[in-house]
Amino acid sequence: MVSRVKTRLGAIVGFPEASRIYHQLCLLTRQCLHPEEYQCYIYFSEHISDEALWSDARLIRRVQKGLTLGERMFSAFEDVFLAGPKSPQDPDFLHKVIIIGTDCPYLTPEIISESWASLDTHDLVIGPAKDGGYYLLGMKHLQPALFALPEWST
């Protein structure tokens, strides 16, 4: 059975090919993650996958909440910020979160490391995509107004 991922792409190349492309993009994304360096949360659209690619015990797996892309991203940021240590006196105080999609063929571990380091001196980090969107978004503090944009993924 072919999953209905990358629906806009599937409408052009067919859903079997879109599914194959999506799987390759997931492989590339997984290669960029280093759970030994960062606490990594993986958010699935409908149900938590048992696929070996995401089965590393160091990956925290959750299901997305929200109807729109903005709502889902906000919910993921909120979830991760709330899951972390609550006190700045705690040496593990969570003060930086980065979100990436699984459709970023040019993403590298170096881009993630550079973005992470940039959050030491900046409140917000954005990785602009060539199509006008973003492939990476990072912040020190939850900024709800950012997610109130009328349309994401356009």
pLDDT tens digit at each of 154 positions of the chain = 445 567 777 788 888 888 888 889 989 999 998 888 888 899 988 888 878 888 888 888 999 999 988 899 999 999 998 887 666 666 555 678 999 988 888 899 999 999 999 998 999 999 988 877 788 999 988 888 888 766 665 5
What does the pLDDT read at residue 2? 47
The secondary structure of residue 70, as a DSSP letter, is H
Do 25 and 102 touch, CB atoms closer than 8 A?
yes
What does the pLDDT read at residue 125? 96
Closest CA to 102 of 81, 123, 72, 139: 72
What does the pLDDT read at residue 111? 94
Tokens representing 52 are: 């070996």
Q: Which residue has the tokens 């629906």?
A: 7
Closest CA to 28 of 128, 101, 123: 101
To 10 degrees, the CA torsion angle through 16, 65, 78, 129?
Answer: 30
The correct answer on CATH 3.90.550.10 for the domain covering 36-148 is yes
Rounded distance between C-alpha atoms, residue 120 and residue 124, angstroms: 10
What does the pLDDT read at residue 1? 42
